[in-house]
Amino acid sequence: MLYPSVDKLLEKVGNRYELVMLIAKRSRELTAGAPTEQTDPKMIKSITKAIHELDEDQITFHREYDDLTKEEIAHDIKREEDRIEEMHEFEVEE
């Protein structure tokens, strides 16, 4: 069994996609030389350090859309749909 469990980590993040993205981003930061409080010599790989940092609340996660209202989200979705539609129209004209 893995420690910490994925279920335990999901309580801190919300869904598997966000969990993977957060751990991958932090792992890249650690590989690039970012400081960490993890001192266990058994933790060689940056991904292991990132997982334990999340488990021990040394890193946190905040969704940008948590602060948005439903209207703002709907507006952003509509704007993105319009942009995609314009791209498709441009491709057809060529």
Same domain, 46 and 92: no
Q: State the average pLDDT over residues 19-41.
A: 88
Same domain, 3 and 43: yes
Condensed to tens digits (0 to 9), the pLDDT of residues 33-46 reads: 888 887 777 778 89
Q: Is the pLDDT of residue 86 over 60?
A: yes
Mean pLDDT, rounded, of the chain: 82
Same domain, 2 and 44: yes
Same domain, 27 and 17: yes
CA distances from 70 to 58, 73, 75, 77, 79 (A): 31, 5, 9, 11, 14
- The CATH number of the domain where 22 resides is what? 3.90.940.10
Give this prediction's pTM.
Answer: 0.62
CA proximity to 49, closest of 61, 41, 60, 38? 38
Same domain, 51 and 31: yes
Same domain, 92 and 78: yes
Same domain, 50 and 12: yes
